[in-house]
Structure 1
Amino acid sequence: MQKFYGLRGLKLNIAIAIIAGTDFALFGYDQGVMGSLLTLKSFLRYFPEIDTANPPPGKTTSETSNIQGITVGAYTLGCFFGAVATIWLGNILGRKRTIWTGSLIMVIGAILQTASYGLPQLIVGRWITGFGNGMNTSTVPTWQAETSKSHRRGQMVMIEGSMIVFGVMISYWIDLGFSFLEPSTIAWRFPIAFQIVLALLILALIPGLPESPRWLVLKNREDDALQVLCALSDLPPEDKKIQSEFQAVKDTVVEMQKGSFRDCFKMNENRNFHRTALAYVNQMFQQISGINIITYYAATIFEQNIGLSPFLSRLLAACNGTEYWIASWFAIFTIEKFGRRSLMIFGAAGMSMSMCVLAGTTSSQSEQMGIAAAVFLFVFNSFFAIGWLGMTWLYPAEITPLNIRAPANAISTTANWIFNFMVVMVTPPAFANIGYKTYIIFAVINATMVPSVYFFFPETAYRSLEEMDEIFHKTTTLFGEHGCVKIAKEMPHRYDKHGDLLIPYEETEEAQLYAARRRSSVAVAEARGNGVNGEKKDTVEYRE
């Protein structure tokens, strides 16, 4: 078989995006598939403990809502532990092998869920599936970012975000279609089992795609890294652009290859802790926006909170997922034009407004209020799709330095999953106890996200990953005149909007700094040698 399936340049980048997108479609499918099954009679026959509409004898609505939250949340809790494991496994296994292992674990978990006849087995299966997905979602954005060109990186990773919603949409429609097979258990077993198909596709195709060139350099496989860079750009090794990119990657890796998990918490020259914190908060913001109130519980909300029929609730959930997917494409074509910051601020403001309207329209039940509430579930999803859906899989990978990129992205992904778990866990009890006021809480949270992004999150559009290092090397405060937001706004770009080189790497301050350090290291080594031979020993000690 030809190297990288015989693909080069844009075709190879598209192939990577397809596999990365398939993985995120699998992620979205897992998130959405359970929502419409929670009210299915054939499903509740085997798992009556989570029936919040008709609690089993001796159980209250509050108790069953807690058990439902645990069952649904077991998946996100597994994702959390999978992300934690990747903190240590990510740089050991490499990007591709971590994704392959995570996909295999997901297949095992899906088989356990499909074969469930009791709640404990279902919960364990969801936890195992989540563990594999946590490994994947910690790694795929990094792999995608490290194999993409700076002018296409945002678009490629935003496609991943769109694929998450594509997976959600497919899960809703499959749930709706198989609901007609009631009372057969195929109505819920097939939708759960379908995720295995996506996982097997990843397992089959990812071995032939390129590894991250930055990870290869980190592992002293420079020839392989150069080969990957050439294939990704479809250029020969001697091309000036390839040599400039390779030297930039190599310099960064050589300087930072001693990084470790503990380095994520150091406020050193690279401002590791600052950048890890930005990645973590970015992921946290996505989840505490309240999106998974709708993703996991859309059909339940339509049926139990708005008062629609079971069929209409599942149909609207499927339509919601479809519109959600369509809206996600807006970000793909605007992420580079408007930048990361603008879309995040726009999305947060729109989500806050939508939550306010949802609180008002669900405070009392009527036909008109129900229609308005249903509409604004669609509106909320649209704002989220544009501003935050793919952003948190792009931004953390862009903002973190290479030596801690794998552990830092795994740490930030733990934020995604632990806050995802929190939202999924508290949603059933919150609706059971405070009703429409649940939306008010999320309206306030989204409103606070707007100034947070404006003051603290630097723009990364059209920046190479090495340029972000340079920006933070110049940063001395969290915000203001010497903050990363201002510096990122004013520092010249190395590449234009088409990916063409504007400033050769060797002409940058960063390259000159590394060159000076190399010369200094050589001088010190030579001086040490002189000291060993009994010459200039005092001078060596002084220089060191």
Structure 2
Amino acid sequence: MAHYSAFNIRIILVLTLGSLTYGYAFSVITNTLGQPGFLSYFNLDNDASYANQIEGAINGIFSAGGTFGALTVGYMCDIHGRKVTMNTAAIISLVGGALQAGSVDIAMLLVARFITGWGIGMMVVLIPIFQAEISPPSSRGLLVGQHGAWIVAGYAIASWVGVGTFYSTNMSFQWRFPLALQCASPLALLCCSPWVPESPRWLLMQGRHAESWDIVSRLHVDAHDQPDSQKKLSYAQKEFHQMVKQVEMDTNAWAAGGGARQMFTKPSYRKRMWMGFFTQYSAQATGAMVVNNYIVNLYHGLGINGGLVLVLGALYVTVATGANFLASVLMDHVGRVRLLIIGLTGCMLSLSLECAMEARFEGTSDRVGNALGVFFVFTFIFFYAGGIDATSYVYCSEIFPTHIRSQGMAFSMIGTFLSTVVFLEAGPTALAKIKWNYYIMFIGLTAVDIAVMWYYFPENNRFIQTKGLSLEEINIRFSDEVAVHFSDADAERKGGDDVESSGTEPAEEAKADAEHLEHSILPSSQ
């Protein structure tokens, strides 16, 4: 089993600055909407109906920007590369954050929210793609799972900053500083980007084999090297050989099949597009973003007010951060789809019990009932973060072949942004008029989503398993051709099923071809 190298870890950690950018920018508005200085400055503390409309617009326009960003990044990734796209997203996020912090009226704030949404919409699509393309199969869940973990770490940082500024006597600093702080992570990402190489798989699609091999050879540590290792192929050589052959096969098939229209006309690609979109939509259909963004309203309904609301909100996302890290460790062992279903089920049950507490104890001073209400809020986020959050990003980043991965991930994330536009825009008004009954809709949607995922995602030993397979070999799970299998992946596959690809080359031919690639590439890369 191959292991990641220090070079690999360094890249992953730098990329998580993009995850942090998304998480902080997405969450910072939660506490901002509860800051007295913000409400007073924009005259939202006198007219509740007007305040609800503006709060909905602030969140809705952000998600609309995210949708635009996801559409932008899908093709930009393929044309200009992962690294240029990452830097562009960082600059847009930086501009949006600065404009938010300097907003002088609602119109400027809304424009700034759209720009920020645009930047983070690009970021949330790009980062897991980038991470997946540099991660070894055996640890891809752990490494790409850092995207979800650091997104929620951004939530936690934003919440604790909001707690601190709530007690400031400077009403302007109270809300402007947290908004300005969202510029820190994209700025840090820009500063650290020289340490990040381009994706080796994108380089192969551009025909830049020497640059790709130079990166691949540094990414992995081979645990099976022996004294006679010169007679054997290293893990990096085998992976590079597989990548080259798969890119050649996919490029020819892509051109012969008519190009981009195949994403929706070819059954196996169409299935992946649907699965990615549905995975991200179902994550939002749990009501997670509504609970997170309007958690202040929920606590008010339980009779909790003042600074304690902000402290509970910060603890909420702190628990989520730990649960995401747990998920990143588990998913390489449990599998992606099983973890998603466990998370969806836990969220549905927790939200049902939370609604029961709201229905029975809302507006009362019953400490036990209100304490249980808070407890079920925390069990909800534990299941969401521990089963759905990081897992959904990993799953959507790995089920698409390299030549449509960016478009597929972008289409998947549109499922997130379109859902949140609807759910968050309606949130303030719905919570004001029907209160906890709004969450019943999410309970029903999640029940349907569990059934759909259970019955329509199955294949090969109950679920489409992607753990342990290289990105190229995942094709076999969707009945697409795989150019080359190598020994570690074969061992993993034999433990799960006996499916073989018609494109698999004999071991001796693969070895000879890989050695030829090595000798032709290495001299030009030195």
Normalising TM by the smaller chain, what interval? Answer: 0.7 to 0.9
Q: Any idea what the Cα deviations from partners look like across 1:41-81, whole Å, max 9, x if unmatched?
A: 211122124x4xx41xxxxx444312211112222211110
Q: Which residue of 2 aligns with 1:384?
A: 384
Give the Å deviation of 1:413. 1.2
SS at match of 1:117: coil
Q: Does the Cα contact within 8 Å between 1:352 and 1:446 map onto a contact in 2?
A: yes
Q: Does the Cα contact within 8 Å between 1:102 and 1:136 map onto a contact in 2?
A: yes
Alignment of 1:214-363 (within 5 A): 214-234=201-221, 239-257=233-251, 258=254, 260-267=259-266, 271-303=268-300, 305-363=301-359
Are positions 1:495 and 2:482 aligned together?
no
Q: Does the Cα contact within 8 Å between 1:495 and 1:501 map onto a contact in 2?
A: no
Give the gaps of 5 or more residues in structure 2.
223-228, 458-463, 510-526
Q: Does the Cα contact within 8 Å between 1:86 and 1:138 map onto a contact in 2?
A: yes
Question: 2: CA distance between counterparts of 1:170 and 1:498?
Answer: 42
Are positions 1:163 and 2:150 aligned together?
yes
Give the Å deviation of 1:454. 2.3
Q: Any idea what the Cα deviations from partners look like across 1:193-230, whole Å, max 9, x if unmatched?
A: 11111111100112321211111100000111111110
Structure 1 pair 182/421, CA: closer, same or farther in 2 (3 Å)? farther
Q: Does the Cα contact within 8 Å between 1:27 and 1:164 map onto a contact in 2?
A: yes
Are positions 1:204 and 2:197 aligned together?
no
Q: Any idea what the Cα deviations from partners look like across 1:499-522, whole Å, max 9, x if unmatched?
A: 99999xxx9632349x99xxxxxx
Question: 1: CA distance between counterparts of 2:49 and 2:176?
Answer: 27
Give the gaps of 5 or more residues in structure 1.
1-7, 56-60, 476-491, 517-544
Q: Which residue of 1 aligns with 2:420?
A: 420
Structure 1 pair 215/173, CA: closer, same or farther in 2 (3 Å)? same
Q: CA RMSD in A?
A: 2.6
Equivalent residue in structure 1 for 2:126, among 130, 139, 142: 139
Q: Does the Cα contact within 8 Å between 2:220 and 2:235 map onto a contact in 1?
A: no
Q: Does the Cα contact within 8 Å between 1:109 and 1:128 map onto a contact in 2?
A: yes
Q: Does the Cα contact within 8 Å between 1:345 and 1:450 map onto a contact in 2?
A: yes
Q: Does the Cα contact within 8 Å between 1:83 and 1:135 map onto a contact in 2?
A: yes
* Segment drifting more, 249-258 vs 23-32: 249-258
* Segment drifting more, 441-450 vs 82-91: 441-450
SS at match of 2:334: helix
Question: 1: CA distance between counterparts of 2:246 and 2:390?
Answer: 27
Equivalent residue in structure 2 for 1:176, among 154, 163, 168: 163
Question: 2: CA distance between counterparts of 1:274 and 1:403?
Answer: 16
Question: 2: CA distance between counterparts of 1:498 and 1:21?
Answer: 31
Are positions 1:124 and 2:111 aligned together?
yes
Give the Å deviation of 1:358. 1.3
Question: 2: CA distance between counterparts of 1:497 and 1:174?
Answer: 48
Amino acid across the alignment from 1:401 = P
SS at match of 2:503: helix
Q: How many residues are treated as equivalent by the alignment?
A: 478
Alignment of 1:411-490 (within 5 A): 411-457=411-457, 458-473=464-479
Q: Any idea what the Cα deviations from partners look like across 1:356-404, whole Å, max 9, x if unmatched?
A: 1111111142233322211111110000011111122111111111221
Question: 1: CA distance between counterparts of 2:490 and 2:305?
Answer: 50
Amino acid across the alignment from 1:338 = V
Question: 2: CA distance between counterparts of 1:451 and 1:159?
Answer: 28
The percent of aligned pairs where both chains have the same amino acid is: 27
Alignment of 1:522-537 (within 5 A): none
Structure 1 pair 166/430, CA: closer, same or farther in 2 (3 Å)? same
Greater Rg, structure 1 or structure 2?
1
SS at match of 1:495: helix
Amino acid across the alignment from 1:286 = A
Question: 1: CA distance between counterparts of 2:188 and 2:275?
Answer: 33
Are positions 1:10 and 2:8 aligned together?
no
Determine which structure has greater relative contact order: mean sequence separation of CA pairs < 8 Å that are 6+ residues apart, divided by chain length: 2
Q: Does the Cα contact within 8 Å between 1:462 and 1:493 map onto a contact in 2?
A: no
Question: 2: CA distance between counterparts of 1:439 and 1:9?
Answer: 42
Question: 2: CA distance between counterparts of 1:501 and 1:444?
Answer: 39
SS at match of 2:128: helix
SS at match of 1:181: coil
Question: 2: CA distance between counterparts of 1:261 and 1:290?
Answer: 33
Give the Å deviation of 1:462. 0.8
Question: 1: CA distance between counterparts of 2:327 and 2:236?
Answer: 29
Q: Does the Cα contact within 8 Å between 1:107 and 1:196 map onto a contact in 2?
A: yes
Question: 2: CA distance between counterparts of 1:474 and 1:221?
Answer: 25
Question: 2: CA distance between counterparts of 1:350 and 1:251?
Answer: 42
Alignment of 1:33-52 (within 5 A): 33-49=28-44, 51=45
Q: Which residue of 2 aligns with 1:521?
A: none
Q: Does the Cα contact within 8 Å between 2:38 and 2:171 map onto a contact in 1?
A: no
Question: 1: CA distance between counterparts of 2:319 and 2:421?
Answer: 25
Amino acid across the alignment from 1:390 = A
Are positions 1:107 and 2:104 aligned together?
no
Q: Which residue of 2 aligns with 1:485?
A: none
Q: Does the Cα contact within 8 Å between 1:286 and 1:388 map onto a contact in 2?
A: yes
Question: 1: CA distance between counterparts of 2:490 and 2:13?
Answer: 23
Question: 1: CA distance between counterparts of 2:353 and 2:466?
Answer: 33
Amino acid across the alignment from 1:291 = A
4+ residue segments displaced more than 4 Å: 234-238, 496-503
Question: 2: CA distance between counterparts of 1:451 and 1:461?
Answer: 22
Give the Å deviation of 1:425. 1.1
Amino acid across the alignment from 2:235 = K
Q: Which residue of 2 aligns with 1:187?
A: 174
TM-score scaled by structure 2? 0.85
